[in-house]
Amino acid sequence: MTMETKIKQIVRDVNDFPKPGIVFKDITPILKDAVLCGEITTALAMQLSAVKIDVVAGIESRGFLFGMALANLLNVPFVPIRKAGKLPHKTIQQSYDLEYGSATLEVHEDAILPGQHVLIHDDLLATGGTVVAASKLIQKLDAVVAGYSFIIALDFLNGKDRLKAFSTNNFALASY
């Protein structure tokens, strides 16, 4: 059985969340399967084997789950990218628009060094707005977006197209 098939069999669809008309792809059932979690982390690392990665940055909050494990497997640092007001030290910020308003992401200003190659990880790629904001944070620190990794990509929303301006290294284990 392929990794994509395993993921699609366990991911739960939640209708009308967070608002009517949305079918939310819930990865939390994956977290109950320790073996599958390990397989997913290994599969992500294998997809990235040809990409130079100095740091893995995970986007709050589900990007922390596999982002940290991936960083450990790759033997590189992990950096959290958080919602505004959640990090305790000096930060830089990037605001972005959502379908229903706006949001702001932050990263510690000393978390990533100039010139480092940063992999951005999140659980799911939809329209790409959050990931674009994370990419702009990496660029503000004079670092390089090495690529992206996701458990799931919703290809019909064309988020990958928005990321090409930052990196063409875009990997997902399952696509819808």
pLDDT at 13 over 90: yes
Read off the DSSP letter of residue 82: E
* Contact yes or no for 73/64 (Cβ under 8 A): no
Tell me the pLDDT tens digit for each residue of 155-165: 999 999 999 99
For a pLDDT cut of 90, what percent of the chain falls above it? 95
* Contact yes or no for 113/130 (Cβ under 8 A): no
The active-site residue, picked from 4, 12, 62, 162, is 62
Q: Is-catalytic flag, 106?
A: no
Any residues with CB less than 8 A from the CB of 53 and at least 6 apart, and which?
74, 76, 117, 118, 119, 146, 147
The active-site residue, picked from 99, 106, 109, 162, is 99
Tell me the pLDDT tens digit for each residue of 84-128: 999 999 999 999 987 777 999 999 999 999 999 999 999 999 999
| CA count, 13 A, side-chain hemisphere, 152 | 24
Give the residue extent of every domain in the chain. 51-175
pLDDT at 18 over 90: no
| Largest distance between two CA atoms of the chain | 46
Sort 108 into a burial class: Cβ within 10 Å, 0-12 / 13-18 / 19+: middle
Q: To 5 degrees, how large is the angle CA 176–CA 150–CA 165?
A: 95
Q: Check: CATH 3.40.50.2020 for 51-175?
A: yes
What CA–CA distances, in Å, run from 82 to 22, 46, 55, 91, 136? 24, 26, 16, 10, 14
Q: Say what the pLDDT of residue 98 is.
A: 79
Quick one: pLDDT band at residue 78, thresholds 50, 70, 90? very high
pLDDT at 50 over 80: yes
- Cα distance between residue 114 and residue 148, in whole Å: 19
pLDDT at 53 over 90: yes
Average pLDDT for the chain: 96
- Cα distance between residue 153 and residue 174, in whole Å: 6
pLDDT at 147 over 90: yes
